[in-house]
Amino acid sequence: MTVSAEPGDVPAIRPTSTAPRAVPVPRRTVGDRTAPLPTLPLGDPTGGADALRWTQLVDGPQRYPHVSIDRDVEIVMSDGVTLRATVIRPADAMRSAVPAAHPAIISMNPYNRALLDAIDTALHNPVFGRGLRGLAGAVDLTGTPLAGVTGVTQTLSGGALEVFGINRSLVRSGYTQVIVDVRGTGSSHGKWQILGAREQQDSVEICEWVAEQSWCDGTFGLAGWSYSAINSLQAADKRPAGLKAVFAVEGCEDIVRDIYITGGMPSLFIPIWLGVVNVLKWLPNPATAAGDLVDGKALHWLRHRVASPATEVGSLAWGFLTGRDDRIYDDPYFDERDPEVERIDVPTFLFGAWHDLFGRSATSVYQHLRMAPGRKQLVVADGYHIDAGAGFGGTGNPPRVDVLERAWFDRWLKDIDNGVEHYGPVTLQQQGGSWTSGESFPRPGATVRRLELTDACSSTADHAVFDGALGTDRPRGRRALGVRPDTRGLRSRDMTQVTAGITAMLGRDYTVDARGQEAGGLTFTTAPARERTQISGAMNLHLYVSTTGNEGTWAVTVNDVAPDGTSTVLTNGALTVSNRAYDKSRSEYAEDGTLLSPYHHLSRRRKLPVPADVPVPIDIDLVPTDAVLDIGHRLRVDVYASSFPRYLTVVPDLLRARGRRQALVLDAKHPSHLSFLAIGAPGW
């Protein structure tokens, strides 16, 4: 589905000194290596002169010289539970909070405000804070074995940490910031709800409380990164009075399919993440710990922690071992937690990344927001989770994340005509290409392509279990290609995705070269592209598979293969065979009816039997992406029997598999094929 503006939806572009609208680029002739790629139609992803002004506003003198930080604010919920918050207000030269009322920016997260205080202290230390930012922005190890370090370090200079924590520049410009430990985390009381209904009610009550304070003018925005972004989207769908805008960095609208049980398989990330938050919630906040001991609040806090010492860890382990917990299926437990994006009616700015933990959600949320482009904005980078904003503000890149946040809230909370609604509205870092901006995703003009998996040899992957071809011809006859589970996924881009980007620092095998992982998989590769080709949108891989057990697990990737053999993962997906049933009414199709993204049920009652040694068809949805294949590059499909630890198999499924041997069956009567949208004529 292509989402774009309806006639009359997009406000007229006001004259500015930014780059003019790009003229559509005519199709190039085969072999033309120098002609520009067709881009999204609006042109400048840097924001041009408008963005320079936004940056100058953030980096220049502010309205107020200082901030006043109160780290011991209590907010009592309707059920009597006390939440703890930090309130950051503009301050005068004497560092006293000014009495004037300002718009508020609210952020709610489970990571303990003490952690945010530590980040703020480091970044604003008068001795080394500025130097730390400068050093982080200057570190560039591109082209070295430690190239992955660059993305992580440049996050410090990209502005995302200000959205995650305390944004002093934003406050000094005339905002009040409110950061709340969600129920059961940090120094807040109660039991952690993990985005549940009570926590969502807390968010609404926090919004109401903020709007009534003397230091708030009655209006506010919601902002956050990751969990806080999800929380912001949840709160926005309740439409609290006074809410004017949302700024969400790497949020999520479908927790099940993004990360919890992708394709029916739990993710290693979830137990790691639960462990981290459960540890952090036991750490007293140094800013209030002494006072809490004196007045008895610490004892009350401790009783709540003891009542739920490791929230959800036991139930998750039980579900993994027995298959009897609802949280390893698509259950109402998750329906309660997914934001109702269609209900959001305030301007919303979204950030995502193609290999983020929530890789599907940024583009999906944008599509589901029922408002005109401009009031909704989308930026998607070619990165992971913890490197949000890496490189932003650099040459040819979007403005820093904190710069965009300030511009967004200035426009919608203060009604300042700064042109930010004309940025984008869809700004994408094309894999294999550069940053582009335009009106919609997928790209206008992308048409359906179908490539068949065959047993012809591509002569490009002698390192793999099988080197097959990907093209327009169907296989000759019938052939079963066996493949076994292995642990090569420990050294792969899947590993980097599931660790939120941390293992990117370990080298090329974890980021841009999948050949090590391919040694345990089946590969199918096209001929070299004769024309630059853009891939844009969702993908579906239809396979005909069998297993000797009563369950099978499949993990797949689609890769860009360079002339030197480097195989870089563009997108991925997975499915357990028993979860092959999908909801046609919620699946995505191209205009000609081609299935592009099956919506698998992933529920206990919709599982299908898996007969041993009987081939069955399955459809695996891959994370939507935007990529360019240059001339001489090839497209490759990798098929694996597992990708540990990105996808974990619950113990009952392992028992049903009975030490399985899996096979991809190439059969002219039951062809396996990849369906996707593309622009260009590669000559495959």
Burial level of 434, CB count in 10 A (0-12/13-18/19+)? middle
The rounded distance, in Å, linking the Cα atoms of 665 and 481 is 6
Provide mean pLDDT across the span 215-240: 98
DSSP codes, 406-469: HHHHHHHHS----SGGGS-SEEEE-BTS-EEEES-BSPTT-EEEEEEEESS--SS-TTSSEEEE
The phi and psi torsions of 640 (rounded to 5 degrees) equal -125, 155
The rounded distance, in Å, linking the Cα atoms of 93 and 70 is 17
At residue 364, does pLDDT exceed 90? Answer: yes
Split at pLDDT 50, 70, 90, the class of 658 is: confident
Beta bridge partners of 232: none
pLDDT value for 25: 29
Return all residues near 348 (Cβ < 8 A) that are at least 6 apart: 233, 236, 245, 246, 247, 248, 365, 369, 371, 375, 376, 377
Q: Is the CA virtual torsion 507, 510, 514, 519 positive or negative?
A: positive
pLDDT value for 657: 79
The rounded distance, in Å, linking the Cα atoms of 31 and 10 is 37
Provide mean pLDDT across the span 232-239: 98
At residue 16, does pLDDT exceed 80? Answer: no
Split at pLDDT 50, 70, 90, the class of 141 is: confident
Burial level of 314, CB count in 10 A (0-12/13-18/19+)? exposed
Question: Collapsing DSSP states into helix, strand and coil, what is residue 103?
Answer: strand
**Peptide linkage before 284 cis (omega within 30 of 0):** no
At residue 93, does pLDDT exceed 70? Answer: yes
% of the chain with per-residue pLDDT over 70: 93
CA distance to 225, 310, 372, 588, per residue, from 334 (Å) = 20, 19, 28, 21
Q: Which residue has the higher pLDDT, 13 or 538?
A: 538
DSSP codes, 16-31: -SSPPPPPPPPPPPTT
Residue 683 near residue 531, CB atoms below 8 Å = yes
The rounded distance, in Å, linking the Cα atoms of 425 and 200 is 29
Angle value at C-alpha 70, between 67 and 73, nearest 5 degrees: 145
The answer for 186, left when phi > 0, alpha when psi is -120 to 50, beta otherwise, is left
The answer for 555, left when phi > 0, alpha when psi is -120 to 50, beta otherwise, is beta
Identify the weakest region by mean pLDDT among 78-92, 172-186, 326-340. 326-340
pLDDT value for 291: 94
pTM: 0.91
% of the chain with per-residue pLDDT over 90: 84
The phi and psi torsions of 334 (rounded to 5 degrees) equal -85, -35
At residue 279, does pLDDT exceed 60? Answer: yes
Q: Element (H or E) spanning 510, and its range? A: none
The answer for 68, left when phi > 0, alpha when psi is -120 to 50, beta otherwise, is beta
The rounded distance, in Å, linking the Cα atoms of 23 and 26 is 9
Q: What is the separation of C-alpha 160 from the centre of its chain, rounded to a whole number of angstroms?
A: 14
pLDDT value for 30: 29
Identify the weakest region by mean pLDDT among 16-30, 124-138, 263-277, 506-520. 16-30
What's the mean pLDDT when you consider all of the chain? 91
Residue 462 near residue 557, CB atoms below 8 Å = no
The rounded distance, in Å, linking the Cα atoms of 205 and 197 is 12
Q: What is the separation of C-alpha 273 from the centre of its chain, rounded to a whole number of angstroms?
A: 15
Residue 164 near residue 179, CB atoms below 8 Å = no
Which tens digit of pLDDT belongs to each residue from 412-426?
A: 999 999 999 999 999
pLDDT value for 326: 82
Q: Element (H or E) spanning 304, and its range? A: helix 297-307
The rounded distance, in Å, linking the Cα atoms of 339 and 323 is 26
What is the residue whose two structure tokens read 């003198």? 61
Tally of residues, the chain: 684
pLDDT value for 567: 98
Return all residues near 147 (Cβ < 8 A) that are at least 6 apart: 141, 508, 511
The rounded distance, in Å, linking the Cα atoms of 457 and 467 is 6
Beta bridge partners of 640: 555
pLDDT value for 356: 97
Helix, strand, coil percent content, the chain, rounded in steps of 5: 30, 25, 45
Amino acid at 570: L
Residue 259 near residue 384, CB atoms below 8 Å = no
Provide mean pLDDT across the span 61-81: 97
CA distance to 451, 664, 668, 671, 673, per residue, from 476 (Å) = 15, 15, 6, 10, 14
Burial level of 235, CB count in 10 A (0-12/13-18/19+)? buried
Amino acid at 572: N
In the chain, count of helices (H) and strands (E)? 20, 25
At residue 11, does pLDDT exceed 50? Answer: no
Residue 533 near residue 682, CB atoms below 8 Å = yes
In angstroms, how far is the first alpha carbon of the chain from the final one?
25
The rounded distance, in Å, linking the Cα atoms of 253 and 424 is 22
Q: Which residue has the higher pLDDT, 234 or 28?
A: 234
Identify the weakest region by mean pLDDT among 27-41, 491-505, 646-660. 27-41
The rounded distance, in Å, linking the Cα atoms of 339 and 237 is 7
The phi and psi torsions of 527 (rounded to 5 degrees) equal -70, 165
Amino acid at 47: G
At residue 139, does pLDDT exceed 90? Answer: no
Provide mean pLDDT across the span 575-598: 97
Beta bridge partners of 598: none
Question: Collapsing DSSP states into helix, strand and coil, what is residue 117?
Answer: helix
At residue 285, does pLDDT exceed 80? Answer: yes
Q: At what angle do helices 401-413 and 48-59 cross, to 10 degrees?
A: 90
pLDDT value for 133: 66
Split at pLDDT 50, 70, 90, the class of 61 is: very high
The phi and psi torsions of 350 (rounded to 5 degrees) equal -120, 140
Which tens digit of pLDDT belongs to each residue from 461-487?
A: 999 999 999 999 999 889 999 999 999
The phi and psi torsions of 274 (rounded to 5 degrees) equal -60, -40
Residue 425 token pair: 């509205």
At residue 204, does pLDDT exceed 50? Answer: yes
Which tens digit of pLDDT belongs to each residue from 213-223?
A: 999 999 999 99
Q: At what angle do helices 129-138 and 113-123 cross, to 10 degrees?
A: 90
Return all residues near 376 (Cβ < 8 A) that are at least 6 apart: 347, 348, 349, 350, 366, 369, 425
